Amino acid sequence: MSPGQTAPRGAFTPHATDGIWYASYPPYVTRDIDPSRYRSLAHFFDECVERFRDRVAFVSLGSELTFATLGEKAHAFASYLQSIGVKPGDRVALMMPNTLVYPVALFGTLIAGAIVVNVNPLYTVRELSHQLKDSGAQTVVVFENFAKTVQDAQPGSRVRNIVVTGLGDLLGNGLNVKGRAIDLFLRHVKKQVPAYALPDAVRLPQALARGARQKFEPVRVGHGDIAFIQYTGGTTGVAKGAMLTHRNVIANLLQALAWAGGQLVDGEEIIVTPLPLYHIYSLTVNALAFLAIGARNVLIVNPRDIDALMRTLRHENFTAITALNTLYSALMDNDAFRERDFSALKLAMAGGMATQRVIAERFRAMTGQTLVEGYGLTECSPLVAATPLDAHGASEFDGTIGVPVPSTLVRMRRDDGAWANVDEPGELCVQGPQVMKGYWNRPEDTAKAIDPDGWLATGDIGVMDARGIIRLIDRKKDMMIVSGFNVYPNEIEEVLAAHPKVRAVAAVGVPDPVTGERVKAFVVRRDDALTVEELLKFARLHLTGYKVPSYVEFRDTLPLTTIGKVLRRELRDAELKPRKSQD
């Protein structure tokens, strides 16, 4: 076993497949990383600020935040949290898109020793309510466009402290005339901020001003302390919080840097960040790994607005970008993107969902760069494997997920529990310093996911060849991936089944050239008067947009096993043309 790897729950037994992938490593990648390089993510952050003080750390809507200013504001926010009684180990929920406030709140929370609970700002009241109650968060930082959701989800939760922020916060200098104008425009002209009533909420500028006047009391945070509770459906579809420790996340950002380090130069890179930073992939790679090399991080608030995105990139000669298959497709359909000079581009990474071969081939033909694909999951902070950048034909997209990253072991487990051999399929299992501590307040689920020897069972079926290169055969059997987000049928079925006119329901994913997959619901009606429009209206009240079915098919019965379980695979594989139910 390599020095950087640990088997915290039991004895380690070598296997014939261990380490066969080292021959496929690029020459600059070492076998192991050393998480002890940083005591905590707060130590990591402070070192980055000190190294790159005068460089620009983040850019948003034409405004820049230097590392020095980021450090000052993050510490001011940490002081504010202390002033309202936030203690180490308390949970602070962050509910906002990619604005300059996110990194300030993120690192401020970590500096204070609190735990970050990342929240998708598009969550419905039901989804947010569950996450707030389950995590026990007492403090929320929310983008004002979604403050009404917090208002409606607050009853029954432990939330007592709310900080409200707007798109204009931290934009411009001095009196922030630019930021104020943007906020007024969005509130009163665009009408994008629904009315809300949070009388005890504090605006972000006031919180920072108060924190700047307070003396910060340093806290002791170590590797074993939890840094993030990152919610995921795991392998069952029940929303659970993966406990990611400071060591887990430090290890994973170092693994990402080790993998791409031969391509990147400290203080010279410009990374485009269209993926939301509350997503674990963007959080670890964009917010943390690129911070470590002093990169200029260009934040994209709304990647769906391709024209606005291109206006932002007009003055940015970016060297790296992370995006989803769907976003790369949209960018390549844009004339301004196609006409760019890509000579500075060094690294283009695809994650969050499977990359289609046609997209990878188009991208290489257009830019001269290969899309680097990998594999990960929230429970692994998230990176597990990645495509070597200059081995086994990096110039050719082959649909594999690459090889395990440094200090990581991957094995395939057969159905009988024994480890599979080379070229033998099995459930992909992971062991390494990036594997989560467990699920928040769910010891039984943790025990099911991580065995006594520290192996995390991913639920994905894969096979490893003699070079150590992994190919996924099938992923978690029922999970869908819609525009990079995990969607679990249990949640959708639970919501639709609550409609009084529904007798039974099953949800599956169907292929889509834009989003990767879309949700299709097969419904047995209790009342024949139920219409598709009525059902979808009900679904939109309780589900985030990407979870709402795009297709609905009414049936008299659903295929069942002998014990009465719905055969989702039979529905998914059936050669039926889905009837589109919405534009």
Give whole-number Cα distances, 145 to 3, 148, 151, in Å: 47, 8, 12
Tokens 């076993």, located at residue: 1
Among 160, 189, 221, the domain boundary falls at 221
pLDDT in tens, 569-582: 788 877 344 455 44
Domain presence at residue 458: no
Q: Are 532 and 562 in contact (CB under 8 A)?
A: no
Q: Which of 286, 269, 251 is nearest to 102 (CA)?
A: 286
- How much is the pLDDT for 173? 66
Among 200, 221, 242, the domain boundary falls at 221
Structural domains counted in the chain: 2
Q: How far apart are CA 518 and CA 546, in angstroms?
A: 8
Quickly count: other Cβ atoms within 10 Å of residue 10's Cβ: 11
Q: Are 352 and 368 in contact (CB under 8 A)?
A: no
Quickly count: other Cβ atoms within 10 Å of residue 370's Cβ: 21
Encoded tokens for 150: 């917090």
Domain presence at residue 396: no
CATH number at residue 498: 3.30.300.30
Tokens 């049928």, located at residue: 489
Q: Are 240 and 231 in contact (CB under 8 A)?
A: yes
Q: How far apart are CA 170 and CA 85, in angstroms?
A: 25
- Crossing angle for the helix pair 532-542 and 489-497, to the nearest 10 degrees: 120
Q: State the residue range of the domain holding 136.
A: 66-221
- How much is the pLDDT for 8? 52
- CB-based contacts of 534: which residues, under 8 Å, 6+ apart? 501
Q: Which of 382, 372, 374 is nearest to 456 (CA)?
A: 382
Q: Which pairs from 337-341 meet CB under 8 Å and 24+ separation?
A: 337/310, 337/313, 338/366, 340/313, 341/317
Tell me the sheet residues that pair with 53.
none
What stretches of 423-510 show up as alpha helix (H) in DSSP? Answer: 443-449, 489-497
Strand bridging mode 63-66 / 56-60: antiparallel
pLDDT in tens, 443-487: 999 999 999 999 999 988 889 999 999 998 766 667 788 988 888
Q: What is the pLDDT along the chain (583 residues), one digit of tens a residue?
A: 343 344 455 666 899 999 999 999 999 999 999 999 999 999 999 999 999 999 999 999 989 999 999 999 999 999 999 999 999 999 999 999 999 999 999 999 999 999 999 999 999 999 999 999 999 999 999 999 999 999 999 999 999 999 999 988 988 765 567 777 777 767 767 777 889 999 999 999 999 999 999 999 999 999 999 999 999 864 455 689 999 999 999 999 999 999 998 889 999 999 999 999 999 999 999 999 999 999 999 999 999 899 999 999 998 999 999 998 878 988 999 999 999 999 999 999 987 767 777 788 899 999 999 888 889 999 999 999 998 876 433 446 677 899 999 999 999 999 899 999 999 988 999 999 999 999 999 999 999 999 999 999 998 888 999 999 999 876 666 778 898 888 888 789 889 988 999 988 999 999 988 888 999 999 999 999 999 999 999 999 999 999 999 999 999 998 875 445 678 878 887 734 445 544 3
Respond yes or no on whether the N-terminal peptide bond of residue 404 is cis (omega within 30° of 0). no
- How much is the pLDDT for 378? 95
Q: How far apart are CA 102 and CA 74, in angstroms?
A: 10
pLDDT in tens, 277-331: 999 999 999 999 999 999 999 999 999 899 999 999 998 999 999 998 878 988 9
- CB-based contacts of 341: which residues, under 8 Å, 6+ apart? 317
Q: Are 146 and 132 in contact (CB under 8 A)?
A: no
- How much is the pLDDT for 11? 60
Quickly count: other Cβ atoms within 10 Å of residue 421's Cβ: 13
Q: How far apart are CA 578 and CA 566, in angstroms?
A: 19
Encoded tokens for 460: 């994905």
Domain presence at residue 203: yes
Among 221, 237, 264, the domain boundary falls at 221
Q: How far apart are CA 246 and CA 244, in angstroms?
A: 7
Give whole-number Cα distances, 223 to 248, 362, 401, 492, in Å: 8, 43, 29, 37
Domain presence at residue 453: no
Tell me the sheet residues that pair with 444.
none
Domain presence at residue 171: yes
Strand bridging mode 270-273 / 296-299: parallel
Domain presence at residue 103: yes
- How much is the pLDDT for 394? 46
Domain presence at residue 529: yes
Hey, CA dihedral for 360, 364, 367, 369, is it positive or negative? positive
Q: How far apart are CA 68 and CA 118, in angstroms?
A: 25
Phi/psi of residue 524, nearest 5 degrees: -100, 120
- CB-based contacts of 34: which residues, under 8 Å, 6+ apart? 4, 254
Our measurement of the distance from residue 367's CA atom to the centroid of its chain's CA atoms, rounded to an integer in Å, reads: 26
Q: How far apart are CA 298 and CA 316, in angstroms?
A: 8
Q: How far apart are CA 446 and CA 437, in angstroms?
A: 8
Domain presence at residue 543: yes
CATH number at residue 180: 3.40.50.980
